[in-house]
Amino acid sequence: MSKLKASILVVDDEPAMRLLLTSILKDEGHEVTAAASGEEALQLLATRHYRLVLTDLKMPGISGLELLTHVKRDDPGTAVIILTAFGTVEGAVEAMRQGAVHYLLKPLANPDELRLAVRRAMEERRVTDEATSLRQATEAVFPFGEIIAGDAKMQAALDLGRSVAPTDATVLLTGETGTGKELMARAIHHWSPRADQAFVAVNCAALAETLLESELFGHEKGAFTGAAAQRRGRFELAHGGTLFLDEVGEMTPALQAKLLRVLQDGTFERVGGTKTVTVDVRVIAATNRDMQRLVAERVFREDLYYRLSVFPIVLPPLRERPADILPLAAHILHDAGRRFGKHIVGFTDEAQALLQGYAWPGNIRELQNVIERAAILCREDHVTPAHLHLSVSPAVSSSGVPKTLRALERETILAALAAHKGNRRKVADQLGIGLRTLYTRLQAYGVSAESDEEP
């Protein structure tokens, strides 16, 4: 675990202990301020924000517990660690109930106890901050109150999301890559009673099995090479809130068994540990795979599939909601223009026709990439076809028979490959799909999936 530097307020009425704590933390590179009482600490907290408050529990005047109450009321983002003597452990337990992240016994048996507790607190705060930033970034593009869904299929999906949100039912979101599954998951969380708790997302396809297990369930110190300290996993960080498992169909059988247990009774053990951890987490899973086929092929556990799909919601691809293409494009263009400092009124008639005639194999993600690129290139008040860089293949064959969606998708991908001279990564970026998804599609089309990307 890397050392995260932080501003820390140390509060203790014993001068020797104050000096010891301050010295240890400064050696770690933290910015440390010391206070000799709860009253002095409150004065300091009124003038600036601290990432962490380390306070003695028993002090004359304002106690550590009272100080914790003030911190959690006025600056809930600040982490609090309690210091307590052996005889007052019950008070420390009460502090944990009220929001303290850890407690340490005085006198310190080893300075490493303090170092480790602070690192854990900062790591947990970092993960929470990342989740908050990601949520805010998503809402900035598609605020939950303004999800664009004029199409009946998308409206039906949103209605299902609103219906299931107040419950704790596990939701399985299915649909092609780029159809907005994570956005739907965040909307369900936003509409739920858990909205003021954490929303934590994990991409099950992005990590190797061993890393994903540690990411989900945490690990104990020494569980594997590089595990220098205990680490809480995403299930623990999502306690009280929602955990979003993206691309859950990619999970290995061993992890499927552990996930099934959590869904059944809310318990698990960290990697390398024996202590059972209990959590209260609402799970929303998503996949672009045919889960029933994976179950039939015994790639995915049938019992886990039924646990995940208590409430399934299918998100339609963009080509099946044509009425939403132009409103979505206008929304994205407005946001991109604001971010890039440009005043772009809209699209020319020709550009609108091009947007509506394109098959959008990468769905909304591809649409967003195309529009943002167009906004960067546009030096006029309207986006033209030249700014969009889209090549629409005819929707019918030379015989007049409509082409299949598979054929249109194949032509679109091959055209992008030609335009980027075979650079797979650039093709995936343009189409708004993952590199792994691109390789899968190429293999299905009988095209070599060997990467010849630029360095």
pLDDT at position 447: 64
DSSP string of 186-243, one letter each residue: HHHHHHSTTTTS-EEEEETTSS-HHHHHHHHH-B-TTSSTT--S-B--HHHHTTTSEE
Model confidence at 395: pLDDT above 60: no
367 CB burial (10 A radius; 0-12, 13-18, 19+): buried
Residue length of the chain: 455
- pTM reported for the whole predicted model: 0.58
Domains parsed from the chain with CATH numbers: 7-120 (3.40.50.2300), 142-316 (3.40.50.300), 321-444 (1.10.8.60)
Query: Is the link from the previous residue into 316 a cis peptide, with omega within 30 of 0?
Result: no
* CA nearest neighbour of 328 among 161, 158, 150: 150
Residues 175-213 pLDDT 10s: 998 898 998 999 999 999 999 888 999 999 888 887 898
The contacts of residue 182 (CB under 8 Å, 6+ apart) are 138, 201, 244, 246, 286
Model confidence at 12: pLDDT above 80: yes
DSSP string of 59-105, one letter each residue: -SSS-HHHHHHHHHHH-TTSEEEEEEEGGGHHHHHHHHHTT-SEEEE
φ and ψ at 322, to 5 degrees? -60, -30
Question: What's the Cα-to-Cα distance from 434 to each of 29, 359, 406, 413, 418, rounded to whole Å?
Answer: 39, 18, 18, 13, 18
Q: Encoding tokens for residue 328?
A: 């979505």
Which has more confidence, 170 or 46? 170
Residues 400-442 pLDDT 10s: 444 555 666 777 777 777 667 778 888 777 776 777 778 777 7
Residues 312-356 pLDDT 10s: 999 999 989 988 999 999 989 988 888 888 889 999 988 898 898
Model confidence at 121: pLDDT above 90: no
